Structure 1
Amino acid sequence: MTSEEPVNSTENTHTDHNGSVAQNFGLELWDQYEELVKYTDQGVEYIKKYAQFAKERIELENMFAKKMKEMMKKNMPKYTKQTGNELFTYQKAFSVAVHEVGDEANQHERIAESLTANVYKPLLQLQHDKEAEKRNIQNEGNTIRAKHDQNIQQLDRMKRRYEDSHRDAIQAKLNLEKIEYNPKVTKEAVEKSKLAVTTKDRTLSENKDQYQLFIDKFNKSQKDHYYKEMPLVFEKFFKMEQSRVARVKFLQEQLVEGLRHVFPIINTCYDNILDAGKQISSDKDLIQFMEQKKSGFPIPEDREFMEYGTTATPNLQLGISKTTKKRNLFGNAKKPAAPKLDDAEDFSHLPPNPQKKMINDKIEAIQREVGQNQASLNAIKHMLDIYEKNPALGNVRLTQEQYAEEKKNGDHMKLELYKYQVWHNQLEGTPVPQKPELLDANSRIVEPPAVTTYEDRLFVIQRHELQKQTTKAKPPRAAVPRPHPRGAGSRRSTADTDSDFSDDDDTPQDSAHYHTPAASSTVSLPASFHQGTYQQPEHYEASTESDKTASIEATHPIGRVRALYEFTSSSDGELSIIAGKEMLLLENDGSGWIYVDFNGKKGFVPLSYVETI
């Protein structure tokens, strides 16, 4: 209680001081009513001005926030995040800076909202209230002043009447004196003058009494006017202004508080931008770029010297000349564009290193799903145990079905995980992982197919794309010499064989490319060719006619093919085919020629003229 007493005493002193000021306000300014009205008008006008200021500040904050958001949207990084790639540190820092601009814009919107709710609208309400309050007080003061003015006017009239009657009485006496000493005036005229004097005196006395009575009444009314009635009006003006100023003070504090409240958040935005800038590292970016872009392909080995004029061996040249490597279908010198590979499940559309990384990412993602599935199984199993003990709590059959479905899903995830783990180990050259333990008795482990490398898939896809592009074009001659025909008694000469590998006008090139029906295009061979492990197939030659016949008859179909182009045989052992016809594939030894059966007729056709079905 002791600590509160000074506070109460101070408050009481402050209240008493305000009360005495309010009481003396009307006495000190008794003749400044018009100035007080003018002052209060200025106060209300100040509220209007402050409200307009707050409105413009709100509009400015909203406009600033809008412009900042437009800037953020325009500068928002639209990185095409490639498969397996992450943003560089400078890109991340810029993204943070742009996003923080958006967050800062949100804070300016909050400032506008705070000013609208806590400053602008209260100012409008204050303006409305003070205008109404001032109007009422001013009307009351005007009424009191009008009444006092009427009393003054009435007092002036009575005073003038008293003055007039006094002047008339004196004039009547002067007239009587003149008549009394004039012998020519009759007695009757003298009596009339005496009567006039008596009447004027009586009127003077009455007006004097009325004036005396009214002036006493007026003085009392004037005292009430200046000491009671008008001081109350002045006190109301005083309190009105007192509350107006206090309210404006509070609203100005609210304006600052609305700004202060968001400044720490804006500073946090700046701190985040600064922290992101500190994370920028050129070394990290360059290392990341290297990890993202390295393909994993081996650096090409040294090329062997090929003496000019010599015939290239089939396993190196494969029918590619300078002209065919430089010309396209229309004869223009243009480097053929690499075909676009569609996304593959084993990511074989990517080079070796990105392929391994994506498979690793896939394994991690599936492992997370397996963990979530196991948690779900545990939860369902727990609920199933509860329902079996107390069937009233839940449906046991539905829970069992849900549990079985989750087990199937879990087994499917485990099989997917096993597949990618197998592919990962195949690429890394490590042993095959342990097979997963399946929960569902109906689930079976199916060994995944061997992983496809980028080189192999590119070779197959490129050849297929080029074959489709040249379906309507006249096919060129086969680039690879066919093997010695089965069932024929003669072989192609060495000169014929050599002519199939080199044009007369072109120098043989040391190229790892395979010639396809699109004579102008080249296709990269698999890695086995670059590594020198590619084996040129041997030519088949039966020692005797009986051996040849027995070999042909013993051949069984290994597949089916469809002719892409028409081919006319030009030597023994070759088979003429018609585009679009299907044939049985009897043998494919990798020489560039295949042995087929077409309606009972057997023979060799170029591999590039057919497609597998």
Structure 2
Amino acid sequence: MSILRELHDMASQHEIIAENTQTLIIKEIQQLIVELKQERKKGLQEGTRVHQHLLLSTQQLDKTKKQYERAFREAEKALEAYRKADADINLSRAEVEKQKNISISKTQFSEDCKNDYAAQLENTNKHQRDYYSSLLPNVFQQLQDMDEKRISKQKHFLKNIADTEKKVSPIINKCIEGMYKAVESISPEEDSRLVVELYKSGFAHPVDLPFEDLSCPNHGDNNSHAPAPRSQSSTDFKNQNKPGTTAGRTKKRGGLFSLFGSSKVDDQKEDFSDLPPNQRRKKLQQKIDLINKEISKETAEREGMLKMKDVYIQNPALGDASSLDKKLEENAQKLDRLNQELIKFENYMADAEGKIVRRHSTANDSLSNSPSESSVQSNLGPYISAPGTPIAHHYAHSTCGEDGENGPIAGGEGELDDVPDGEGELEYADQETPEEEFDDFPVIGTCRALYQFEAMNEGSISMEENEEMVVLEQDQGDGWTRVRKANGLDGFVPSSYIQCTLYDPL
């Protein structure tokens, strides 16, 4: 756990680094990328513009040069034609003058093209000098400045990252030192002991197997003349002395024995009876704690709804009190179900601990009873205790067989057929007389009634709102508290209907 905590602290520091990098550095990098893209685009556009201007000037120069060359050749041809016509005595003077005029015009056009070519050449040379001396270097300078700016920003970002790492590095080093200390504190012997404590089965060592002398007809039966109880069959007598058997059926053992057997795992049972005793008790205790937590949550929710309902009754303008009735009924049903679950798992726990005691819930244990629940409770016999009765008083009586022998307790869940290994018989709780059962309880605190309550069942008492009473027994998880009124009567009232103030224990 220490190593995991140190790793968690290291991860927290790395999260700080990531957060700072995300909020400070990455955000600035994104802004810088946008700026650099715009500057680069602007520089490239400027370079393209000056290059296109020089290219157009060069193309115009080529065009004027070609035009001048063509005009010059035509002027040469016209002059040659005039000379031939002037030397030819067969031609008339008019034709000679015509050739002369054509030669003059061609020569003049050639001179004009020559002048255009010279002007364009001078212009192109000027553009070329400007392009290579100033325009293109300016573009390159802009791009160079942009890149230097990018490098400078990168330097700044890297420095910030290093500073962030430097700030958290001492904490990370402490985490690493803590990991070293945690590693040094690992004890193989202590870890092995914890594993053994966690997974030990709790089975008792099996007794020695008896020698069965087949030559003796009554071998191993010292009480063959004693009448067997009607509730036990011959199978029970065959298995009662065998280790690992309870109530006529073989008990599966896990733990060490499962290491050498099949690795197949059956579906886990509700009472965890498929687990070894120690593991079963741990699972049952976890389940009981979870149910108690749910009961506390639902009880607090119910108290809040009841207080809200009282406020609505006193001041109808704040809300309708009847709107909470359905929620209160659902809450009561949920509490009843949770209380039944709690009793069931407490019985499983008592069975796992080798006890036969069990706490039953009577009609006044629940906030809303159904007919099916009442019928089940009526079949439990005349020995069902009132709510809040100490656990040791439950099952203090057992039904008797026809011949007077004590038989098993009747009624589905009341019949216990599992006992821990190594015990040959069930140990019943000591029976107590009615006088002992209703001995006075010590006063452990005072309480005040928050609401009026009318007792509808045996064991509960009525109370008026704001009535002061003393507490005899705390709520045992069933939703009822034992109190005594000023007139000396005591009984059970709903725990959510009273406000208790308990005395400090000596």
Classify the TM-score, shorter chain. 0.3 to 0.5
Normalising by the residue count of structure 1, what TM-score does the alignment of the two structures yield?
0.34
Q: Which has the higher contact order (CA 8 A, sep 6+)?
A: 1
Normalising by the residue count of structure 2, what TM-score does the alignment of the two structures yield?
0.40
Bigger CA radius of gyration: 1
